């Protein structure tokens, strides 16, 4: 059973265009940001807010990072298929850029449902239009409908869903990866990727408007789901 969900960027000169893309920010939709805040804000004192696949970065101080290895900022070493918590004991779950790396994402979402207390919420952000990025495996991306159904099958009720990182970011990120993979010659490949990344920094603010378009999820880089475990 594949259970790798280590997250980490490529390194060295080859990674420079991707670093430029990341440095410019990904212009997340306000709805996605508001959904994320429901996971970390307003939770009782001492409640566990679990980040499945968290680390090496701590996204929010309230989150307890869980991953399969003792990487930086990882608090709990465990697999997403067997969360080391009793039934109904977790206040909320955060899971970003992880489900695409799991061969059996349904099993992981069922585990989230099991450990969440009744009324607890889960936020997931998962790629739709992104290139292969195996750390070390990459098994699937999700349309918005597929993302929603993944959580509904586990018993969750969907509170909100939609584009998280928008179409402009998706276009730039794919073009950078295209240049890295297919433009012949090391210098030409890196230079073209660098120029696309710089142009993308200028274009990125378009997503602040495109997030409101009813079809934004059809070309989004990632989509989000906010779901609640019924009481």
Residue 190 lies in a domain: no
Number of domains into which the chain is organized: 1
Cα 164 to chain centroid distance, Å, stands at: 9
Nearest to 174 by CA among 133, 223, 125, 215: 133
- Residue 4: the pLDDT is 44
Whether 88 is in a domain gets the answer yes
Residue 18 lies in a domain: no
What confidence tens digit (pLDDT) does each residue in 23-33 have?
A: 556 679 999 99
Banded pLDDT at 10 (limits 50, 70, 90): very low
Q: Is residue 94 included in any domain, yes or no?
A: yes
Range of the domain at 103: 28-166+214-228
CA-based radius of gyration for the chain: 18
Whether residue 22 lies inside any domain: the answer is: no
Specify the length of the chain in residues: 231
Q: Is 108 within a domain?
A: yes
How many of the other CB atoms lie within 10 Å of CB of 202?
10
- Average pLDDT (200-208) is 87
Q: How many whole angstroms separate alpha carbon 223 and alpha carbon 70?
A: 28
Which one is predicted more confidently, 13 or 194? 194
pLDDT greater than 50 at residue 209: yes
Q: In sequence order, what are the residues at sequence separation of 6 or more whose Cβ sits closer than 8 angstroms to the Cβ of residue 85?
A: 48, 50, 115
- The domain that holds 77 is classified in CATH as 3.40.50.150
Per the domain annotation, does 7 fall within a domain?
no
| 198 in a structural domain | no
Q: Which 8-state DSSP code applies to residue 43?
A: P
Taking only the tens place, the pLDDT of each residue in 52-107 is 999 999 999 999 999 999 999 999 999 999 999 999 999 999 999 999 999 999 99
Provide the percentage of residues in the chain whose pLDDT is more than 90: 73
**pLDDT, position 7:** 46
Nearest by Cα to 50 from 109, 116, 98, 106: 116
How far is 111 from 169, CA to CA, in rounded Å?
31
- The per-residue pLDDT for range 44-60, each reduced to its tens digit, is 889 999 999 999 999 99
- Per the CB < 8 A criterion, the answer to whether 93 and 40 are in contact is no
């Amino acid at each position: 059973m594949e259970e790798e969900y280590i997250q980490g960027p490529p390194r060295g000169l080859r990674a420079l265009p991707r670093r430029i893309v990341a440095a410019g920010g990904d212009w997340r939709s306000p709805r996605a940001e508001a959904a994320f805040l429901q996971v970390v804000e307003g939770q009782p004192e001492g409640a566990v807010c679990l980040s499945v696949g968290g680390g090496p970065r701590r996204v929010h101080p309230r989150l307890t990072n869980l991953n399969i290895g003792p990487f930086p900022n990882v608090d709990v070493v465990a697999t997403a298929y067997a969360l080391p918590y009793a039934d109904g004991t977790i206040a909320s779950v955060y899971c970003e850029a992880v489900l695409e790396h799991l061969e059996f994402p349904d099993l992981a979402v069922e585990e989230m449902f099991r450990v969440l207390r009744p009324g607890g919420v889960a936020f997931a952000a998962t790629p739709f239009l992104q290139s292969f990025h195996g750390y070390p495996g990459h098994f699937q991306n999700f349309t918005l409908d597929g993302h929603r159904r993944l959580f509904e099958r586990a018993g969750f009720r969907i509170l909100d869903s939609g584009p998280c990182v928008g179409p402009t970011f998706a276009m730039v990120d794919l073009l950078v990866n295209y240049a890295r993979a297919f433009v012949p010659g090391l210098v030409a490949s890196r230079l073209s990727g660098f120029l696309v990344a710089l142009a993308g920094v200028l274009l990125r603010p378009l997503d602040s408007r495109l997030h409101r378009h009813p079809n934004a999820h059809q070309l989004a880089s990632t989509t989000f789901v906010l779901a609640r475990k019924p009481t």
